[in-house]
Structure 1
């Protein structure tokens, strides 16, 4: 019976031949009923079929846009009782350094950190819940980082994309690399045990894109459904022998130790900000901070960062 079958957001995207971002938008607008099982969103087959039936009866001229303009967060002006909070999303330590510089150099604001993955960061901006979001999402079709996702999700609202840094991502393997894992296609080997990241994280999107491009089914990997919320968690699983391989950044491998790191790709880690009148003054100050010698000097002390494009405006609408 249809009522006992449910689908993940990834499966819905494949069935409807639409992007995962569009699925999130349909769920957000209430057009596609969903529920959460642990950290995973599910849609019942009966609800999917009902949505398809409704979609067939809507004339093209009356159909809503695929992605609605994102909600603009109401500016919180500085007041006698405290500064305006500025929410910065993401995990990288470079964001903590940035928050410190913002608080020091821009009066009237209070940086707040939100530790969420890249996809959830962009969705939080779409909902008007964050001010500076970080993202490192690979689009497998174009080979580009971030911009394809940003364009699809933030349509209809002016925004700015600026580079924070680039860093090496790749495979964590056990010390000495006993299984001889050297490329993405090796993930298709039978019996391989994976330490995985949570849905929406840049590392998870990188893995899923590579599995798709190399024709590897996710269910071939033991442990694919077990999720860790940061790079250190994945690296630790590999170091302890609980997993054979994981995807993450080079820095975490050096912190955990007792594992080897196989570099696979140079990922671009960008910042996104919505542009409206109250944001423009601090956005300009933020760009000046990114380009300053003091900020770059702190980042240069961290191994594995490429700062050749730090502060470069990549897209402005």
Structure 2
């Protein structure tokens, strides 16, 4: 007997607090996003499945609540957001980019707790990994398929430590190609056992600098992070991107104290992009896909290989073979290959650690 399939989801929500009630901003934020995308109210109504009258009523209501207009109507030029509405929308995008991975991880934990109380014939795979577009896509492709996947968003170090403690079946980590690879790999070898663990190749992706569209500060490389007129936004302590940033700065002879904003942290590549797109920083480091989705310019620095580490003894388990079948499918590889800056030519390949990283067979 198996349980009836369901999926738990959590979403952030804005509430406008009043004396005796709280008003949700979800509808007006969706409407503003649609107006921003389509350039007119008619297109926004269609995208949001709202009547023209209802949409205008919603806009007028929140204009009264905020005390400022939300739209600029220009003859023959469509409709644009006012600076206040634009800032509201960007704040929402930044919040979603920052919170969604945490909420997705919490939802997965809640799902796991509930499923323990239901009869089932198989156990889902447990994946611990940092937030990434290929990981996000894998969860979507696994949805509704046996044995399922439980995801915890963790830094690469945390994920590999969980694998060593047998708290997960797969641990995601990324390694830059080239001169920074030995330093990053040496750190990961605190938890990886080359004779015990093998690898599943997920993707190769471009990592680099995010800058505002048009690059108004004329930022060209890592050395520009030390400029007095450049504001940087960093990844959180313990993340692979932050460790890589430190290595690149050291190579240039730049101390962390010389970088304005080095201690300003975001938890995902999308949150870094949203931070810059909203004007709160001039530059950050992340994967190309996030920069493109927020309309930012991207300056490539390195290519990273993203892997899942797992115990070799689990490779032949039916659940792991089912995962490999999905990862090696034309559908999944094609989806990953269409992400900006991603290469999926080796997606789903099983590799021995000592073959991928020669000299680490101890």
1:263 Cα shift?
1.3
Find out whether 1:244 has 2:282 as its counterpart.
Answer: yes
Match of 1:269 in 2: 306
Find out whether 1:99 has 2:136 as its counterpart.
Answer: no
Structure in which a larger fraction of residues adopt helix: 2
1:61-140 to structure 2, matched below 5 A, reads 81-82=119-120, 83-88=122-127, 89-102=129-142, 107=146, 109-138=147-176
Greater alpha carbon shift after TM alignment, 91-100 vs 177-186: 91-100
1:266 Cα shift?
1.4
Runs of 5+ in structure 2 lacking a partner? 1-115, 355-362
Match of 1:306 in 2: 343
Match of 1:210 in 2: 248
Give me the whole-angstrom Cα distance separating, in 1, the residues matched to 2:238 and 2:175: 9
1:1-317 to structure 2, matched below 5 A, reads 81-82=119-120, 83-88=122-127, 89-102=129-142, 107=146, 109-138=147-176, 143=181, 147-155=185-193, 158-257=196-295, 259-276=296-313, 280-316=317-353
Match of 1:45 in 2: none
1:216 Cα shift?
1.0
Greater alpha carbon shift after TM alignment, 303-312 vs 229-238: 303-312
Greater alpha carbon shift after TM alignment, 149-158 vs 268-277: 149-158
Superimposed CA distance per residue, residues 143-171 of structure 1 (whole angstroms, 9 cap, x where no aligned partner): 35965444332238711112101111100
TM-score, with structure 2 as normaliser: 0.58
| Partners of 1:191 and 1:220 within 8 A in 2 | no
Superimposed CA distance per residue, residues 115-147 of structure 1 (whole angstroms, 9 cap, x where no aligned partner): 222222222222322221211144886535965
| Partners of 1:236 and 1:256 within 8 A in 2 | yes
Secondary structure, aligned partner of 1:136: strand
1:232 Cα shift?
1.5
Greater alpha carbon shift after TM alignment, 227-236 vs 281-290: 281-290
Distance 1:146 1:312, change over 3 A: farther
Distance 1:140 1:204, change over 3 A: farther
Give me the whole-angstrom Cα distance separating, in 2, the residues matched to 1:272 and 1:150: 11
| Partners of 2:208 and 2:300 within 8 A in 1 | yes
Secondary structure, aligned partner of 1:276: helix
Greater alpha carbon shift after TM alignment, 187-196 vs 149-158: 149-158
| Partners of 2:209 and 2:298 within 8 A in 1 | yes
Which of the pair has more CA radius of gyration?
2
| Partners of 1:138 and 1:144 within 8 A in 2 | no
The number of aligned residues is 237
Give me the whole-angstrom Cα distance separating, in 2, the residues matched to 1:316 and 1:280: 19
Give me the whole-angstrom Cα distance separating, in 1, the residues matched to 2:302 and 2:287: 10
Q: CA RMSD in A?
A: 2.8
